[in-house]
A and B are shown apart, each in its own frame.
Chain A
């Protein structure tokens, strides 16, 4: 059974640009969550989607957005990139509620903003 797949693995963007990251969850998993990981802040929750609906959102500015498709694949978008957006962006999938079932992470997308 394939794990969580994130693309691309690495990305370099310039300040002011926008970026879209993709996540394919484990087959059968309907919940997809996104996290930002930085050395200073650790793993910070961005948002969670279930059946194409955003159920929860973390404390990030509106430049960070996401969506989920009918096949449970998810994308997140960051507009008007800032240097501080450089981070490892991780996607996690779980069967239903990430808060009480096993959540599995992808390898992440390493975003560097220059």
Chain B
């Protein structure tokens, strides 16, 4: 079936370094993608989105890259801070007004 998945379960990064979180998706018809951040005890927080007619989009300290050829999505966080420690999910528009989520990737920032 259709699925969205992440390559690495846990990413440990030194404070101040850049982080890259990867995501593979299988539905080539997906045309909208979102990255969410979820801290312990909280709901997912919207970070950034991208539509399939773009291959890059930048926000504040974050950049999302979309490679439709290999069905790959990545989130780059610049100058990672302790507050960036969380689980990050990618989600895709799987049609019919629903989002399909990946399993999540834990980011641990080392002070």
Chain A residues engaging chain B, CB cutoff 8 angstroms: 4, 6, 31, 33, 35, 42-43, 45, 48, 50, 55-56, 58, 90, 92, 97-100, 102-108
For residue B102, give the distance in angstroms from its CB to the closest CB of chain A: 7
CB of B67 within 8 A of chain A?
no
**A55 contacts which of B89, B93, B96 (Cβ < 8 Å)?**
B96
Known: A42-B104, A99-B32. A56 touches B43 (CB 8 A): no
Contacts of A42 in B (CB 8 A): 89, 101-104
Among B42, B51, B97, B100: residue with most chain A CB under 10 A: B97
Can you give 20 contacting A-B residue pairs, CB < 8 Å? A42-B89, A43-B91, A43-B101, A48-B98, A55-B96, A55-B97, A56-B98, A58-B98, A90-B43, A90-B44, A98-B97, A98-B98, A99-B32, A99-B93, A99-B95, A99-B99, A100-B93, A103-B99, A105-B43, A108-B42
Contact A102 B34 (CB under 8 A): yes
Contact B42 A107 (CB under 8 A): yes
